[in-house]
Amino acid sequence: MAKLALFGGTFNPIHNGHLNLAAQFVREVGFERVVFIPAKIPPHKDALDLIAPQYRLQMVQLAVDGIPGFEVSGVELAREGLSYTVDTLREFHRENPQDELFLIVGSDMFFTLDQWYCIDEIFSLATICCAAREPGIFHRMTQFAQQYRQRGGRCIVLNVPVMEISSTQIRQAVRHGQSIHELVPAPVEEYILKEDLYQESHARRVERYQQVIRSMLREKRVQHSLNVAEQAVHLAKIHGVNEKKAQIAGLLHDVCKNMKTLEMLKWITGSGIAMDNITLRQQQLWHAVASSAYAQNELDIYDPEILNAIRYHTTARRGMSPLEQVIYLADVTSSERDYPDVQRMRLLAEKSLKEAMRESLKFILGDLTRRNLQIVQDTWEAYNEYIL
């Protein structure tokens, strides 16, 4: 008689904690086979963030590939309607009548077994295996195991080193652009990034950011931001710059423009951003720095290229990326701008980002000089770079 363990779950996504748990049971109980079974629509969990079954199945396959005794089954994904554990156990019992069945569950599921469909039949078909997912809950788990044994259940509860990883943690890290290298197997990480899994769709992000600027800006400034985003996409398309990043940076470049001065300063200092004395004396420049800090800390934007495009859209700086140049020029050539020579600037921006930056900075420095205003270091350095 072989020992066959079934490990079900959403695996949204599968991670090193899942693999570690299975490996611990293989060592302690001696399973010959561990079958990972992704659920289609789990009846016991909120499926709000659940991605398509084919992606989860592929990630599990990538995770277990090459590990002796570990395999994958899509039996629950092929089943119509809700996926009940008892149905899967019945099917494996029919196909493997000589094997002893075990069911690996996480501690969160272990505490709710009495709510499962046909739990008494589950107890009769398989031994329940569980280990702590959090520190300090082993004693509580043994109490629940005793209760289940009193109603005929067979339970194995392991007190093993805890690997504190959750699928929710991984999904949030991906959305925030953070590394998941130590949380999932390398092939799973590569697959998530390749397929853009767990990322908010660009259309949904744009819609959300539009709602943000409408709630924070006066109507004239909202229209300007929409125009800048439109012009940024136009210039990005011409010059081979990422159009999605251009649209987001264009929408949010002025998000703090109508904020009170002290509130802007709070966002700047709270983010650890230092401003030089000249910038401190020119409050009309603060909104760009505050908007960059707000975008990162309030809107969960961690892309440095987008953040820099927002931050330097007013002053410019030395070494600007093509995206930063696009946002800077989109701001000065958006459709509502009507200053003399604006049409020439629009045509120049379409022709060459560098030439347009040079002409714009020449005009800005001349204007600041005529008005007897100090010039911040970033603008000086940008001018010197482009004029050469």
Q: Look up residue 68 and give its two tokens.
A: 């002796």
Domain end call among 145, 166, 195: 195
Containing structural domain, residue 135: 3-195
Give yes or no: residues 289 and 223 share one domain: yes
DSSP annotation of 285 reads G
Q: Is the peptide bond before 97 cis (omega within 30 degrees of 0)?
A: no
What is the domain-level CATH number for residue 86?
3.40.50.620
Condensed to tens digits (0 to 9), the pLDDT of residues 204-231 reads 889 989 999 999 999 999 999 999 999 9
279 versus 34: which is more confidently predicted?
34
Mean pLDDT of 167-178: 87
Q: pLDDT > 70: what percent of the chain?
A: 96
Same domain? 59 vs 171: yes
Q: Please tell me the total count of domains within the chain.
A: 2
Angle at 299 between CA 298 and CA 303, to 5 degrees: 115
pLDDT digits (tens, 9 = 90+) for 224-272: 999 999 999 999 999 999 999 999 999 999 999 999 989 998 888 877 7
Tell me what pLDDT residue 81 has: 67
Is residue 104 located within the same domain as residue 182? yes
Residue (of 124, 86, 129, 123) closest to 106 by Cα position:
129
Task: Identify the pLDDT of residue 164.
Answer: 80
Where is the domain boundary, 179, 195, 211?
Answer: 195
- Ramachandran class of 183: left when φ > 0, alpha when ψ lies in -120 to 50, beta otherwise: alpha
